[in-house]
Amino acid sequence: MSVLQEKYAGVIAAAQSAGVSGLQVKEQDGILYVSGNAGSTAAKDAVWNALGAIDASYSASDINIDVQVAGVATGTALTVNTEESNLNIRQEPSTDAAIIGKAGKGETVTLVEQSSDDWWRIRTASGEEGYAYARYLKV
């Protein structure tokens, strides 16, 4: 087991116990890649929560988590699942993009498109459309 696999053993164990299918753990250029498919947002959250226990700011540059929730269809109602603050809705799928709206914790939004692994295009109840960080959206 590598140093990185030891450091992130809790993340790997969480993915295994959450039933992430097609789980792959590989290392390249000093970065640990963890990928697979989750059957539910709860399973995906378990993996991210395990990382949060190790790196509370989610700022680690030596791990890349790509766990997708299978079968989330366009038009699905999603709940904003932030800690306390509002979820920023952005013009483009990037933290550098302009904030064009906000959705409150617990608010229901609609999935327009799973644009990428990290960014989903959503629509609020008032009709605002933009990109939000998928980590804070729950089916």
Domain span holding position 124: 77-138
Structural domain count, the chain: 2
* Residues 93 and 61 reside in one and the same domain: no
Cα separation, 124 vs 49, in Å, equals 26
Q: For 10-53, how does the pLDDT look when each residue is reduced to its tens digit (9 = 90+)?
A: 999 999 999 999 999 999 999 999 999 887 777 888 998 999 99
* Residues 106 and 126 reside in one and the same domain: yes
pTM value surpassing 0.75: no
* Residues 55 and 108 reside in one and the same domain: no
Q: For 96-112, how does the pLDDT look when each residue is reduced to its tens digit (9 = 90+)?
A: 999 999 999 999 999 99
* Residues 50 and 82 reside in one and the same domain: no
**Contact by Cβ (8 Å): 114, 72:** yes
Q: Work out the angle at residue 134's Cα, subtended by the Cα atoms of residues 94 and 16, and round it to the nearest 5 degrees.
A: 125
